[in-house]
Amino acid sequence: MSPRPRDGHLSAGTNNTKERVTGVQVSQVENIVGDRVLIAVQAVNISRLSTHPVPTVPGTLIVVAGAGPKDSNGAGKSSFIASITALLGDEQWRFASGAKAVSELLFNAELASGAGARQWASADHGYIVGVFGPPGMNGFTPQDADGHPAADASQAAPDATGGDDEPMLGEEMGGELFEVPDTSGGAVTVWLKVNQEAPHLEIRWREGVHLAASPSEAERVAKADEIWASLPRSAGRRDVVARDLTKVLYGDRIRCVSFLSTSVRSKVATNLLSQPLNEISPERVFEAIAALTGLDAELEQEREARRDEHAKRVRAAQAADRLAEFEAESKALLATFNRRDQARVRLADALRCWRGRQARKLADAAAKDEALAADLERHRAAGEAAGDAIALVRAEVATLREDTLDRQVAGARKELAALQARAAKLDADRAVAENSADELRGMIPALEETRRFADGRDVPAAERELGEIRLRLNEALKALGVADQEVSSAQAALDDAEGGPAAAQLNALAAAGVDATGLLDALDVAEQARDAAHTSPSAAPHPDAAHPAPATAPHPDAADHIQATAHAAQSDAGELGAALKARFGRKAGADRPDGGAGGVAGVLGELRGWPNEHAVIVDAAHMEAAAAALAGLPGSVLVSAAGVSVVGAFDGVATGREARIKAAEQRLHRAKDVQEAAAQAVHDGEEAVAEAQRRLEGARAGVRLAELEAKLGERRARLGELNAAIEELTPKVAEAERQAGTLDFRARTRDMEIERLEGRRQRHETERAQAREQEARVVAEREALKLDALAADWGGTVEAAREWLAALPEEERPRAAEEWWRVAERHFDQALRDTFPEEDAEIPEELRFLLNERGGSTAREQATFAAVCGALASYLRGQEEYERHQRRQIEAQVGSRQRDLAAAARGAEEAAQSTAVHRAALTAAIKARLTRVAEEFEKLDTSYGGYGATLEFPVPPAPADPEQRWQWRVTPKWRRGEGQGFVPYNRRANTALMDEKAVKLVCAAAIASSGGGHLCLVLDELGRNLGKEHRREAVSLFRRVGETYGITVIGALQDDMEPYAIDACGQYIKLRRSSDAMPYNEPPVIIGHDEHAERVRALAAYVDRGAA
């Protein structure tokens, strides 16, 4: 076990000796870890991390991935690597200031789980446990899961203490009570207790492996508390705290450098891997290298030296100013002393005049007081006589105000009020009952009239009848809807049958794209000709009469063609009649007596409006297209310049227009008949429903009428009761009013007599008040004289004041008090000006207060004159000794201030020289460190595919502001080809090259800061800014650098970086948490290879599934 101090006085001895050893210097314990490397870490109550131990493989790349509820976020990667940096003493945690930021890593229920504030409690303490083993594991002692050495290695670590747990003093210890810990031996376990309250960090350690191993999370937390309690305190009666962590554990050597995310780091540092390198300024590049190489503290020391130099220069300047100011003040002091001597003489004259004023005021006041004493006796006698008369009147009034009559009046009024209230309540109740009965009676006639409609039916029977009638009404409404639809359809069919002239022909031609117009629309026909065209063929004298000559026509030969065509068609009348029968439903000319012998006119004259309303005019070139378009409309007539053509190819049986119109009209008539019948049925049904509703309302009115008659009987009974009560109460109210009136009259008579007596008393009181007022006025005047105060101010009796005035010189004896005051005021003002010639002079606080109080009025000046004179006299007496002392001190002060100025000047010069020396040494150290980084940068670049790289870092001048940081600039440069010159990093280049150089620069800084010892480089968001095609190479470079230089590189990954890092890393750790409802992570997944089998066997008992 490592030795620890115990208050400076420790006992030493063997098993048989108990001698006390005192006065021995205790060697400070430091560098406990030594050259050991971190081989395992365990977090207890740290963020949401699980308490499972996590083995680590030193000297390689360890990647930390995450599997949160949605992506890699939320699994605690940043908290995990942050806890490792705190364990390894990363200075970003500000251990010298107590490392309060480490307490933010403790488990927080509100942040760890959405419902954690209700189900879990935040941790007030936790543990970060690290197991450090030798790099080669020589002499390592395996242990079981309980922390006890295994049987086969019980002698591997010799005990360093004697019997009874007392330290032994040996010759090999060099005369010290404790030996320096052997840092080359077996493993050591370091426990960091993180507290929410101060101290935020406590450190304990013990040789061997001591981790908390139990089956569940809760048991491991409890086990951790037990192990901590069993560990020995690291500093005697207390534990080592944060400010001594790096010195005690690592001997102030840098064991860890890191780039942490802003959520966990306590110090903002530039991350060279968080953004493209060419977007980082040279100043920030230097800050990043300084953070990696430990130059931050040295730069802060340099700034402190500049602050000290500046402070000393300021003190020297202040000393010179104070000397000059003191010399000026000393010259003015001597002139002031002479004026104060003259002020003392004038102040004595002012006090003598003030005493003359006091004597004169005392003598004048005594004479006036004697005259006022006689007036006072006369007023007192008048007041006593008025008081006797007042006493007699009060006795008579007290006799009249005997309270028996008042009690009788109050009782009568109370009884009258109660009876009147009862009568009013009865009247109100009767009015309410009468109104209610009237309302009920008013409702009865209407209900009786309605009840007659019921025809003896009760409510259930009326409701059944109403339901049946409503069903029949619904059926009638449906039939009416069907009839209305049929009427609409028949009317539409009739309208279609009665379409305009040649409507069908024009529609067919428009559909075929042939321009046409109706014959009757294109011709202007005389009225008699139009009538002749519609005359029956039997009345026509000649077939030609059916073809009148047009008045105007679009074509000159149109009429001749029509007439010729008609004559030519007479020979074929029989065939055309058959066709027209098929087209219009009956044979034209069938009813004629001559059996159709009239030719074409006789055959076609039977058609309504043929051919006029069936003729259209088309262009001669379109005749064939028009005939084809009208093939489906037999009987159509085409008129053109080429002639008249009748479409007569009737290939189907069709109904004539007249027949279609007649059929449509018959259908419409039938539909209207059905509609009227349905409407009548609906009307009858609605009347039946109305009748049934009236019967139902009549049945309900009968029920309501019975209820109203019962209520009306109750109201009538209540009215009878109220009327009887009112008749009984009316005589009682009248009697009470009579008694109350009688007593009120007696009371008013008594009050009038009392008012008369009160008037007499008031007159006597007025007389007494006037006497007292006069007496008080005289007393006030005597008190205003303040004879006692004047005698006290004078300091003697009235006779002594009169004698003092009589002894004055003749010219001063008749002076009044105001004259004495004016003379005294002049002397005092001159003495005050001599004492304080300047307006802003430093007047004593008491005197300043009195001077402020006396301003504003003469009365206040006189009231404070004695005090002001006394304060000024006291000040002048005190200044006499001060003046003598001041003259002796002036020479001494001047010499002393001159010596102070010389000393301050020497101190400022020495501070400037010291700062210059420190700055020169720091410049050399920074240049050496940056040179080492540049050399490592060159080696890495040439070793891994580059042509050489370096750093340019000119020495900047020191800033003039002592608070400003000494800002260095580092410009990375590299060759882009063999034999080429160096190119600055901020020149345009591809992203891959920038990413590669940034990784190499970080590795170079880490190598330079290691100093040959083991170093851990912790990177958050590893490869976040790297392109996809270069991520695998960057990760491989971190691994090769770590294995080559013995640097353990720990990097946290995002999802997109994980596939590239799995194959290239030396160890893979995946933290898992599948749900936001889980406060802790699931057991981590750890994949890695350690060539030292002893490490794996030593930690196997803590990381197997049984222990976990």
Please state, in angstroms and rounded to a whole number, the distance separating the CA atoms of residues 898 and 440. 121
User: What is the rounded distance in angstroms from the CA atom of residue 645 to the CA atom of residue 634?
Assistant: 11
Distance CA 137, CA 651 (A): 116
Residue 1049 has phi, psi (to 5 degrees) of: -105, 120
d(CA 47, CA 84): 13
Return the higher-pLDDT residue of 705 and 971.
971
User: Torsions phi, psi of 664, nearest 5?
Assistant: -65, -40
Give pLDDT, residue 613: 62
Predicted pLDDT at 62: 92
Helices 798-806, 787-794: inter-axial angle, 10-degree rounding: 50
Residue-level pLDDT at 309: 79
What's the distance, CA 353 to chain centroid?
78
The pLDDT of residue 534 is above 50: no
What is the arithmetic mean of pLDDT over 549-572? 40
Instruction: Determine the pLDDT at residue 357.
Output: 85
Residues contacting 105, CB < 8 A, separation 6+? 46, 47, 79, 82, 83, 86, 126, 194, 264
* Cα 58–chain centre separation: 46
Choose from 25-34, 564-573, 645-654, 705-714 the range with maximum mean pLDDT: 705-714
CA distances to 347, 832, 1094 from 873, rounded to whole Å, are 7, 10, 96
pLDDT per position as a tens digit, 995-1006: 677 778 888 887
| pLDDT tens profile 907-920 | 888 888 887 887 78
Q: Is the pLDDT of residue 216 over 60?
A: yes
Rounded to 10 deg, the angle between the 573-584 and 657-785 helix axes is 30
As a whole number of angstroms, the distance between CA 725 and CA 963 comes to 104
pLDDT reading at 184 higher than 50: no
- 1083 three-state secondary structure: strand
Token pair, residue 475, equals: 């059926």
pLDDT at residue 611 is higher than 70: no
Q: What angle do CA 368, 369, 372 make, to 5 degrees?
A: 95
Q: For residue 261, what pLDDT is reported? A: 61
**Identity of the highest mean pLDDT range in 16-25, 33-42, 311-320:** 33-42
pLDDT, one tens digit per residue, over 689-702 is: 888 788 778 878 87
Confidence of residue 241 (pLDDT cuts 50, 70, 90): very high
Task: Name the band, by pLDDT with cuts 50, 70 and 90, for residue 990.
Answer: low
Q: State the pLDDT confidence band at 519, using cuts at 50, 70 and 90.
A: low
DSSP secondary structure string for all residues of 438-456 = HHHHHHHHHHHHHHGGGTT
The residue with greater pLDDT, 769 or 574, is 769
Written as six digits, the tokens of 522 are 């294109």
Rounded distance between C-alpha atoms, residue 395 and residue 601, angstroms: 151
pLDDT for 225: 94
Q: Which one-letter amino acid corresponds to residue 106?
A: L
Q: How confident is the model at residue 222 (pLDDT cuts 50, 70, 90)?
A: very high
**Average of pLDDT values for 1-13?**
32
Mean pLDDT along residues 880-904: 83
Residue 753 near residue 368 (C-beta atoms within 8 A): no
pLDDT band at 137 (very low <50, low <70, confident <90, very high): low
What is the pLDDT, as a whole number, of residue 1108? 43
Mean pLDDT computed over 889-906: 85
The lowest-confidence range among 584-598, 641-655, 892-906 is 584-598
Highest averaged pLDDT of the listed ranges 149-158, 527-536, 840-849 = 840-849
Q: How many residues does the chain have?
A: 1108
Closest CA to 514 of 643, 640, 629, 642: 629
Number of other CB atoms surrounding residue 7 within 10 Å: 8
pLDDT in tens, 462-482: 788 888 888 888 888 888 888
Percentage of residues in the chain having pLDDT higher than 70: 78
Ranges 59-73, 200-214, 342-356, 529-543: which has the least confidence: 529-543
Q: Given this model, what pLDDT does residue 561 score?
A: 41
Average confidence score pLDDT of the chain: 76
* Residue that wins the pLDDT comparison between 993 and 1081: 1081
Q: How confident is the model at residue 130 (pLDDT cuts 50, 70, 90)?
A: very high
pLDDT of the residue at 193: 95
Left (φ > 0), alpha (ψ -120 to 50) or beta: where does 754 sit? alpha
Of the two residues 499 and 1050, the one the predictor is more confident about is 1050
Percentage with pLDDT > 90 across the chain: 7
249-279 residue pLDDT tens: 988 777 887 777 644 454 555 667 666 777 7
pLDDT at 594: 45
Assign 497 a pLDDT band (cuts: 50, 70, 90).
low
Looking at the predicted structure, is the pLDDT value of residue 228 above 90?
yes
Please tell me the distance from the alpha carbon of residue 622 to that of residue 634, in angstroms, as a whole number.
Answer: 18
Task: Round to whole Å and give the CA distance between 951 and 984.
Answer: 9
pLDDT at 1052 over 80: yes
- Lowest-pLDDT range of 134-143, 500-509, 705-714, 741-750: 134-143
560 pLDDT band, cuts 50/70/90, is very low
Range of weakest confidence among 169-173, 566-570, 982-986: 169-173
pLDDT of residue 41: 95
Statement: residue 359 has pLDDT above 60: yes
pLDDT digits (tens, 9 = 90+) for 935-979: 888 888 888 778 888 988 898 887 877 777 788 888 998 888 887
pLDDT of residue 996: 74
Q: Tell me if residue 303 falls in helix, strand or coil.
A: helix
Q: Is the pLDDT of residue 71 over 60?
A: yes
Average pLDDT over residues 413-423: 86
Least confident of 59-63, 108-112, 280-284, 498-502: 498-502
Determine contact, residues 114/131, Cβ cutoff 8 Å.
no
Q: Flag whether pLDDT at 166 surpasses 50.
A: no
